[in-house]
Structure 1
Amino acid sequence: MAEPMRIGLHALGIGAGARRAVIDAVAVGAEAGGFATLWSGEHVVMVDRPASRYPYAADGRIAVPAAADWLDPMIGLAFAAAATSTIGIATGILLLPEHHPIVVAKQVASLDVLSGGRFTLGVGVGWSREEFAALGVPFERRAARAEEYVAAMRTLWRSEVASFSGEFVRFDSVRVNPRPAHRVPILLGGNSDPALRRVAAFGDGWYGFNLDGVAEVAERLAFLETLRPGLAGLRIAVALRDPSPSDLPALAALGVDELVLVESPPDDPALATKWVADLAARWFATPGR
């Protein structure tokens, strides 16, 4: 009998999910409840009146208020990892072109070692021109920058003494230790055709976000299969706009490995414990799981 689809939880790092006690409660409860992965996303800065269009909502606006607390996902996930022992941890997603790849490689390896090889790196190219401007990083050619940064990080993780020469980053005969405890999978975010071309070209998997049900997942995976026949070892994780346990069989049939629930925990840690237990009861009681 095939293994049931994994279910992840994207609930940490923002608002109540940025509080230490809530992180502990959700992480411990998610591990006990059977969730596969704890996901956390990133924005370094937010602005009150963005001109950039948010690509994951029909109205082009992100639902998270600009004034909300938003943790650095690497730091927040380190706390989640420390509170647990087996559940996976993943960025969903880290905006790779906004960061120096040597620093990210060091952070990823450190977190992977400290978590015992539980880390997955989800990355994206970003959509907020205002955020790139604040960080002093060119918005143009951010996809090419991300691809090169992934290659540079893989070089650092693979080689004891590493050298790399590219358009955006160069280093010669450097050591970046520790190296990861396992081969860290790199999942690429984004739902557009160009995003899926990047998945096919250099990703270990895809994190599709806020998709409009099973039908959109099927359409996007059909396009991805034209680029990577049979999905060729890709790890597929998706978050749906309005998921239901009844979606699980159809998603599994499409080759989805993990359905990620995007939820917001309550402010009170005791209520957060019950909240995650109730989520687990709903999703893991599904027939066939």
Structure 2
Amino acid sequence: MLTGVRFPSQEIGSDRAVVRDWALQAADAGFSYIVVNDHVVGVDPDSRPDYGAGFPDGAQRTAAAYSVDTEFHEPLTTIAHLSALCPDLGFSTGVLVCPQRQTALVAKQAAQVDILTGGRLRLGIGVGWNPVEYEAMGADFRTRGRRIEEQVSILRALWTRQVVDVDGEFDRVVGVGLEPRPPQRPIPVWMGGWSDIVLDRIGRMADGWYHGREWEPDVSEKFEVIAAAAERVGRPASDIGLEGAVELRYGLDGIEKRVQRWAEANATHLVVDPMHAGCHGSEHLDHLARIAARLSLRG
């Protein structure tokens, strides 16, 4: 099980020296990879009273903590920068809201990042939950599920074929190609989410499930949904990765047991999320040191 750490995008601030020192410290501590999350714009709930209406409970909690004041560093450009500082680490988006973006542009950007990282990118994608952000991006929130499935096919085609001919429901990518193509052909595509619809989609077409939360008792049950979908399309479920998380918002108490639960669930990856633990800016350097000492990643 590879252990990574989430870049504290919302809390680290914009001092590039702090960003640099944090990344170097993550590499020195023995983490295998860095995950960077995604939002393009925040929402002012005072001017958008519809924001959060009808969301599932999880999305309501997220919406309550996410506004125009929340900082999100753009994930792909951040990864490109961090990879120059940490040439031995892997990188992942966790997760990029793909259906609100232009498919060919995502393919181009991801290919370039894969080149700069030396083939060490995992592209984590998801459908998102924020219709206001979709509106700002000029995308249709209602069709995001169908669109992400088409996008995965187009992304892989652009990464692996010299000439692509896909005339889809949402994108017409006909008689075109993308160069330079990435070292990984294709780049691994992981998907985030927890609903049965998403789990079925992961089983049919994703390289891994980005769970992204603390271990829950129903993890194995949910992975069975993934496995069943994989079996229907002739895929071995063993080829599908699982990425769990340890969230430091719940403290360091019992962290060893929390990690062990993911190992027992056959997780292939585990990301440590240092956010929402009361740290901001350079405080995240000491916080990361405490986490690394507790996990003893260097043995």
Task: Give me the whole-angstrom Cα distance separating, in 1, the residues matched to 2:102 and 2:237.
Answer: 30
RMSD over aligned CA atoms reads 2.3
Residues 194-203 or 217-226, more deviating: 217-226
TM (norm. structure 2) is 0.86
Give the 5 Å matches for 1:37-52.
37-49=33-45, 50-52=51-53
1:165 to 141, 164, 167: 167
Mapped pair 1:233 → 2:239 = yes
* Residue matched to 1:27: 23
Residues 174-183 or 8-17, more deviating: 8-17
2:201 to 185, 198, 204: 198
Asked if structure 2 preserves the Cα contact closer than 8 Å seen for 1:7 and 1:37, the reply is yes
In structure 2, stretches of 5+ residues that fail to align are 46-50
Q: Report the number of matched residues.
A: 280
| Percent of aligned positions that are identical | 30
Go from structure 1 to structure 2 and tell me whether the alpha carbon gap of 1:46 and 1:54 turns closer, same or farther (over 3 Å shift): farther
Task: Give me the whole-angstrom Cα distance separating, in 2, the residues matched to 1:71 and 1:60.
Answer: 17
Task: Give me the whole-angstrom Cα distance separating, in 2, the residues matched to 1:149 and 1:281.
Answer: 41
Mapped pair 1:259 → 2:270 = yes
Q: Deviations over 1:144-164 (max 9, x none)?
A: 101101111100111112221
Give the 5 Å matches for 1:49-198.
49=45, 50-52=51-53, 53=55, 56=58, 59=61, 61-182=63-184, 183-198=186-201
Q: Deviations over 1:260-279 (max 9, x none)?
A: 111136412xx543332221
Residues 137-146 or 217-226, more deviating: 217-226
TM (norm. structure 1) is 0.88
Shift of 1:60: 5.8
Residues 167-176 or 193-202, more deviating: 167-176
Q: Deviations over 1:196-226 (max 9, x none)?
A: 1110111010101234x34132332233233
1:140 counterpart SS class = helix
Task: Give me the whole-angstrom Cα distance separating, in 1, the residues matched to 2:61 and 2:286.
Answer: 33
1:171 counterpart SS class = strand
1:259 counterpart SS class = strand
Asked if structure 1 preserves the Cα contact closer than 8 Å seen for 2:43 and 2:132, the reply is yes
Shift of 1:188: 0.3
Residues 96-105 or 176-185, more deviating: 176-185
